A and B are shown apart, each in its own frame.
Chain A
Amino acid sequence: RKEVEQDPGPFNVPEGATVAFNCTYSNSASQSFFWYRQDCRKEPKLLMSVYSSGNEDGRFTAQLNRASQYISLLIRDSKLSDSATYLCVVRGDYKLSFGAGTTVTVRA
């Protein structure tokens, strides 16, 4: 079983729409959780950390459900510039484990 699993998508949404997707992780002892954004053929960049109580950063909302071992990301009022692959990342003892990514395409 993969350590982090994501729906690869793609999610194709119009501008202004809301899009949400999840990832699941296998290690119940995981300590920290993140969403990274990766543009085509570029390096990943931290989008936001995910806290137990849930957190927002502008149009982005992240939720963590430790009991069910899943993390979610919701993007409100989608912009063309939100088109990217979103990587779910989970921290273990000494390393980060990366999901394969969920691709989001926002169309005009």
Chain B
Amino acid sequence: DGGITQSPKYLFRKEGQNVTLSCEQNLNHDAMYWYRQDPGQGLRLIYYSQIVNDFQKGDIAEGYSVSREKKESFPLTVTSAQKNPTAFYLCASSIPGGPETQYFGPGTRLLVL
């Protein structure tokens, strides 16, 4: 079955630690996205990539980094510079040509110890 997988489901971060969230898709989608969701707020775009080896900052990129070395994979690193990382992180992908319908992974909940 085609879909998007994210791992881990829960992740704990210690102060000053970088952590990496995994996102893999086998939908053959060119575009991939990372969002953050906080209680009572809409999804906010962190980074997006429309093609391999290219990515762009979204609305809240500070404290995050990404890479897009393979079409299937778009990992997100939450760096120590992100002072309020506790949130629900969602990865999504869409067909080429635009962000029309996006398909989401199951998400990763990041908590700070």
**Residues of A in contact with B (beta carbons under 8 Å apart):** 2, 4, 8, 32, 34, 41-46, 49, 87, 91, 94-101
Interchain CB contact under 8 A, B98 and A91: yes
> For the complex, would chain B's binding face be called helix, strand, loop or mixed by DSSP majority?
loop
Interface size of B by CB at 8 A reads 22
Comparing B12-20, B42-50, B74-82, the segment that makes contact with chain A is: B42-50
**Residues of B in contact with A (beta carbons under 8 Å apart):** 33, 35, 40-45, 48, 56, 58, 88, 90, 98-102, 104-107
Known interface pairs A42-B106, A43-B107, A44-B90; A101-B42 also in contact (CB < 8 Å): yes
Residues of B within 8 A of A2 (CB): 42
Residues of A within 8 A of B101 (CB): 34, 46, 49
B91 to A: closest C-beta gap in Å: 9
> For the complex, would chain A's binding face be called helix, strand, loop or mixed by DSSP majority?
strand
**Chain A residue at minimal CB-CB distance from B109:** A41
